[in-house]
Amino acid sequence: MTEYLTVDGGTLAYEVTGTTGQLLVLAHGMGDSREAYRSLTPALVEAGYRVAAVDLRGCGESSAEWASYSRTAIAGDLLALVRHLGGPAVLVGHSIAGGAVTIAAATAPELVTAVVELAPFTRKQSMSLGDLRVASYRRGMVHLLGATVFGSAAQWTKYLDVAHPGTKPADWDTRTARITAMLAEPGRMKALQAMGKTPPVDAGAQLGNVRCPVLVVQGSADCDWVSPQAEGEAIVADLPTGLGRLEMVEGAGHYPHVQAPARVATAMLTFLAGARA
């Protein structure tokens, strides 16, 4: 059931699954909705967590138009939801939200017990002409730029195809149709474009201030980086010593929680058990 929380600047839509246990908040990436976690949530609830999946500002059923779509702004939304639902909480963020949960953990350590970053854009990115020799990276970048610069839903769909290499989820056609329909709603594509143009420097600046355990999950075939493993290792290196660990999901792209939900759930639950200990 969809519930709503009014925050400064708009309204956030979310749903809670499970009635007991520690709060765990799931935040999706740009151009998506909380449905991104449809295959991951059941395992987390079965493990005893109270799971809140939220539509980011501009996405899903949340308000479409906001003054800012930065990771810092998204972090504020997530912390508001944690306060509303009764924290502290584990925060899980994909892509742009990976940077947002980093900021939330660094700025409100009393509300965040652990962080999971799924294929996160948490550090400042750089690109060289040599990078374009990597075919998957080049294809993904072309379609990503087509979506963020020109506001093309067709280019976003092509990006999603590259970002989910290999076997697609069983509900792929239905899911991509729902995403396309969402982006056709007034303000939704502008939100995607704004998120895509927002650099992650605010998140990178906070990595050294995180005080809770962090799990970084990267798909080995993620088209958003020439080397997804090197990016994950760099994030861990920028965290305080001993707080971060990297989990690689072989064959997965930029959406490991969609392509390999059982593998990601196992990695998350193992990590969280260790964090509690």
Q: Could you give phi then psi for residue 126, rounded to 5 degrees? A: -140, 155
Please report, as a single letter, which amino acid is at residue 78.
L
Q: How confident is the model at residue 129, as a pLDDT?
A: 64
Structural contact between residues 110 and 83, judged by C-beta atoms closer than 8 angstroms: no
For residue 219, CA distances in Å to 155, 256, 272 come to: 22, 6, 20
Q: List, in sequence order, the alpha helices (H) in 95-134.
A: 96-107
User: Could you report how far apart the first and last alpha carbons of the chain are, in Å?
Assistant: 33
* Count of other CB atoms within 10 angstroms of residue 234: 17
Give pLDDT tens digits along the chain (277 positions). 999 999 999 999 999 999 889 999 999 999 999 999 999 999 999 999 999 999 999 999 999 999 999 999 999 999 999 999 998 999 999 999 999 999 999 999 999 999 999 999 999 877 666 777 778 888 888 999 999 999 999 999 999 999 999 989 999 999 999 999 999 999 999 999 999 999 999 999 999 999 999 999 999 999 999 899 999 999 999 999 999 999 999 999 999 999 999 999 999 999 999 887 6
What CATH number is given for 3-127+198-276 in this structure? 3.40.50.1820
Q: How confident is the model at residue 87, as a pLDDT?
A: 82
Burial, 139: exposed, middle or buried (Cβ in 10 Å; 0-12, 13-18, 19+)?
middle
* C-alpha span between 119 and 228 (Å, rounded): 8
* C-alpha span between 138 and 198 (Å, rounded): 20
